[in-house]
Amino acid sequence: MTITPPDPAAEIAPTGLIRAAAPAAGEPAASPPATKRLLPSLLIASMTLFATYGGLIAILLPTQILLLDEKHKVANLAIVTTTSFVFTLFAQPIAGALSDRTRSRFGRRVPWMVLGALVGGVLLLGMGSLADLMWITVFWVVIQVALNFLQAPLTTITADRFPRAKRGGASAMIGLGTQLGMTVGVMLAVGLGGQLGLGYSVFGIAVIVVTVLFAVVNKDWSSKHAEVEPFRWGAFFRGFWINPRKHPDFFWAFTGRFLLILGYFVVSAYQLYILTDYIRLPLQQAQGAVMTLTLVAFVPTLIAIALSGWWSDKVGRRKVFIYVATVVMAVGLAFPLIMPSMTGMIIMSIVNGVGFGLYMSVDAALMTEVLPNEGTSAGKDLGILNVATNIPQALSAPIAAVIIGSLGGYPVLFVFAIVFAVLGAVAIAPIKSVR
């Protein structure tokens, strides 16, 4: 009898998804171990995706809405983003679940990444020419769904290819790409703010090109003949419900991310309008100020991401970094209340950026460590966790609109952000499987 030696790659894979060789016919789907190319590829792909998010959400879309109808800009922006929320609510978990089951010679994740990039990128080419709120909303919804179908499998690659002990570093790389992307995206959008069509097109082309190159450079094992469970619609949709009693750590991780992200984005989503209506800057000056705020936070945030991701892996702890991040964010968000000026906004951006950097670098790693069923449905489950990012981002606009219009204006907005950021840290305290 021949005894097959254990796969050295599989031994370090808590999810069982990493293999040194492609799976044989009938075996579970697997991915190859991370190569030296994967980390910089994740950096570039994340940077491009979040440059698109940052440029569109911070500058291009609010500017387009403002130029359409300045008097009703706050309400109209809320309409567009809330409608998008309804349609994108479960886009990432659905994309993740579909990618878990995808059987192709290109692997499980790549087909959906490329499809999302192509659909979103092509529609961005036409977004800038729209001058009707309905069509802006339709295009925005489809673009957001498509980018979510790109983001979900991209996020899952961390769980697919990195062992648990190295996910902090991979998470930090994604966080670095996110921060770089948001900065570059805002800078590009400000530079092209007067040419909406060109601005949208630049981001659309970049998404397509970078995603295709990522797929080519980081080839996955074929999943064409891998084992796949019989498909049942009932089981498929039931899979999106993660019982909080059976998986409490997953529930608390979801809740913590939801609350903190909501606190962060109620301010971030309306940053341009905060500068025009609260700080009282003219539109063109406010656009430039958004770039200034992004740039001053850039280096401190990068340092926070790099140090905390590495340090978290070294000490084997995640939660304490999130606690510290929350305190730092709360302090930063208080400055515009104390100093309602450009100086106060600059200090907020620096301090809040450090806090959010600390959070981003560790959060993604923590999420991979609370997955139910040992990560066997990582794509779907991480997609569900990403709903905890999508929902608060989408809700931030209507909530901010209500606060600004009826509940005390922009000062109350900052108080709301502080409270929810703190609640986000409180929510992860009950997690037992992660230190």
CATH of the domain at 253: 1.20.1250.20
Q: Is residue 23 part of a domain?
A: no
Residue whose entry in the numeric block shows the structure tokens 């951006």: 349
Q: Give the model's pLDDT for residue 166.
A: 72
Phi, psi of 2 (to 5 degrees): -95, 125
Q: Give the model's pLDDT for residue 125.
A: 94
Q: Is residue 11 part of a domain?
A: no
Alpha carbons 379 and 94: distance in angstroms, whole number: 9
Does the pLDDT at position 273 exceed 80? Answer: yes
Q: Is residue 418 part of a domain?
A: yes
The proportion of the chain whose per-residue pLDDT surpasses 70, expressed as a percent, equals 82
**Using 50, 70 and 90 to split pLDDT, how confident is the model at 6?**
very low
Give the pLDDT confidence of 27-57 residue by residue, as tens digits. Answer: 777 677 777 888 888 889 999 999 998 888 8
Q: Is residue 153 part of a domain?
A: yes
Give the pLDDT confidence of 401-432 residue by residue, as tens digits. Answer: 888 888 878 888 999 999 998 898 888 777 77
Distances in whole angstroms, Cα of residue 113 to Cα of each of 234, 261, 389: 26, 24, 19
Q: Give the model's pLDDT for residue 134.
A: 92
Angle, in degrees to the nearest 10, between helices 38-55 and 133-161: 160
Alpha carbons 233 and 34: distance in angstroms, whole number: 33
The count of structural domains within the chain is: 1
Residue whose entry in the numeric block shows the structure tokens 């799976």: 23
Q: Is residue 227 part of a domain?
A: no
Q: Give the model's pLDDT for residue 409.
A: 82
Residue range 131-138: mean pLDDT, rounded? 92
**Using 50, 70 and 90 to split pLDDT, how confident is the model at 391?**
confident
Q: Give the model's pLDDT for residue 180.
A: 83
Alpha carbons 11 and 186: distance in angstroms, whole number: 43
Q: Is residue 18 part of a domain?
A: no
The range of the structural domain enclosing residue 214 comes to 35-222+245-428
Q: Is residue 261 part of a domain?
A: yes
Give the pLDDT confidence of 181-216 residue by residue, as tens digits. Answer: 888 888 888 888 678 889 999 999 999 999 999 999
Does the pLDDT at position 225 exceed 50? Answer: yes
Distances in whole angstroms, Cα of residue 335 to Cα of each of 228, 317, 410: 53, 30, 13
Q: Give the model's pLDDT for residue 311.
A: 74
Q: Is residue 15 part of a domain?
A: no
H helix runs in 369-409, sequence order: 378-406
Q: Give the model's pLDDT for residue 122.
A: 95
The b-or-e profile of 331-350 (16+ CB within 10 A means b, else e) is bbbbbbbeebebebbbbbbb
Does the pLDDT at position 375 exceed 60? Answer: no
